[in-house]
Structure 1
């Protein structure tokens, strides 16, 4: 169905609201920092002269810009109380295990495993977006559990919900590897039936995990939903500033360059794109699809799907279930072929 003028106005208004909230939060944080910084610059100017004061000012502005990127990107306190209260799967009558696991650097992160009763069920690792906590995604997890038959491992990044630490790109990557380590130690988890799912910011975490040789060999498929090509590209879109595309990479604290990684990912990949996404342009999902090196990839456009509610739209779970069946059947065929080959080799050797 074509979008109406009202849809575009609503979409534009939503974008303005998002940007306004981000700018206000950043301004409040900077006000606390800048008063002390300006006092320091004035004192240096008074005692040491203008050149040194100017140099310090340039360094301070760069530091503010560099560290402000975290404030713009990570929102663990939205909605309010997200760091204090995390709902558990029991509220939707799902079985679960709540684990607190040390990441590689010692940071303790919170993970919730929702296990199927059926043995040998496929497992999906759920990497969520840049706001809230895993409790805000329980209804989505319920759908993946009930409609698709997955064990669901929900990963709460450092600095989010009940996890320790502060958000960072490198830290999130370590957390994703911690999630894989957790699954690989579980004897009941079939190591050939692990699927990685990433929505929005979680897409950047997921694509990085797929490019790590040790872990990627255990991952049979990747699912990306409403994610971006890179932080640099999406920043230029949200703030309507094209020059951000040309900012040197050393000035970017967070990159999440999924577009550069897709050419190295060959696992079957499903791209789910909400066509009414008012935050990340659907064309970015198209770009990721085009740059994917996978020989088994699917692109599923979801009519009416917004950035955060695509999972509520008709056809969503059907697309994931159909894709996963294809992948798992392929995995089963490969395993059967390997078993037959091994049996033949053994027979020839015995003869």
Structure 2
């Protein structure tokens, strides 16, 4: 009996050790999934397929990595906010085109769709440090454009994209007008503890005894919970209560932490919303929540600064 118990303990310990080693060695493949199983890395469609006016944009991150994005544009005579959209961890920006098409119809906005490094036509390999630089490069590109109102740039992030967007908004209080987070996790550490329950004693949010041992080995912690209260811009939280991947409690915790130092927080939940379809199952109420948020915090400017700016550029060129 004693021998059996020893074998059981050693066996359980071996499973934990193997699990720890796999998590440390393969973590980037678990967090970042540029290619969905059975599909190619290439974009299956472009905005042209949906008859959207768009521009292929190539630019470089601060470390020299060549990045790709789609700038999907409204008609010039319909100036609206510009949404800097950060996608989830799996697939590429082409898989979000249906959502973007409806967003443009409902909100009358431009949408800048960044392809993270290692995704789509962007070079490099994904990492937290690298994607943070990619997001900053995308924002810097938008700030330099003369065909948008740079005072009305809104960050929108879903799931992993919410963690990316939160970091960008925190770092750029004077360049980002507002931020929208949908079904975003508190941290990758907490998600790892959920996805690998047998490791929950070794990874996850810091407890009363301090950080858990595996936390030190995670290269992409994306700890949104640690920065959400440092965001100065208005925040809209969109939470699907049937989210099968990120527990809805994560969004509640983010909101609770944010309102400690930010009164301009709005929280809207959707009873039937799952991780990827909250925008669809939420129907008109989903889009109405966003529109009300934008109307309050990113209002339309009566004087068209864009046309004036473009006119000034033309005059300078002619002169």
Q: TM-score, normalization: structure 2?
A: 0.81
- SS of residue paired to 1:111: strand
Which position in structure 2 is the counterpart of 1:109? Answer: 67
- CA deviation vs aligned residue, 1:91-148 (integer Å, no higher than 9, x gap): 1111000111111111111100011113531000000011000000001101111101
Q: CA deviation at 1:63?
A: 7.0
Q: For each residue in 1:124-174, what CA deviation from the matched residue of structure 2 results, as whole angstroms up to 9, or x when unmatched?
A: 000001100000000110111110111000011011111111110111101
Does the 8 Å contact 2:268/2:289 carry over to 1? yes
2:293 counterpart (323, 334, 341): 323
Residue 296 to residue 105, structure 1, CA distance change in 2 (3 Å):
same
Q: Where does residue 169 of structure 1 map in the other structure?
A: 128
Distance apart, 1:237 and its partner CA: 1.4
Shift of 1:216: 2.5
How many residues end up aligned between the 2 structures?
Answer: 271
Give the secondary structure class of the aligned counterpart of 1:141: helix
Partner of 1:123: 82
Q: Distance between the aligned counterparts of 2:147 and 2:57, measured in 1?
A: 16
Shift of 1:61: 9.7
Summarize the Cα distance change of 1:136–1:311 in structure 2 as closer, same or farther, 3 Å threshold.
same
Aligned partner of 1:229 in structure 2 is: 186
Partner residue, 1:138: 97
Specify whether residues 97 and 238 from structure 1 end up closer, same or farther in structure 2 by C-alpha distance, changes over 3 A only: same
Structure 2, unaligned runs of 5 or more: 1-17, 205-211, 303-319
Give the distance between the partners of 2:256 and 2:130, measured in 1 at CA. 29
In 2, are the aligned partners of 1:67 and 1:253 still within 8 Å (CA)? no
Q: Identify the structure with the greater helix proportion.
A: 1
| Counterpart-to-counterpart distance in 1, 2:45 and 2:164 | 23
Matched-pair contact (CA < 8 Å) for 1:76–1:82 = no
Query: Counterparts of 1:188-227 in structure 2 under 5 Å?
Result: 188-212=147-171, 215-227=172-184
2:196 corresponds in structure 1 to 239
User: Offset at 1:69?
Assistant: 0.8
Q: Does 1:311 align with 2:292?
A: no
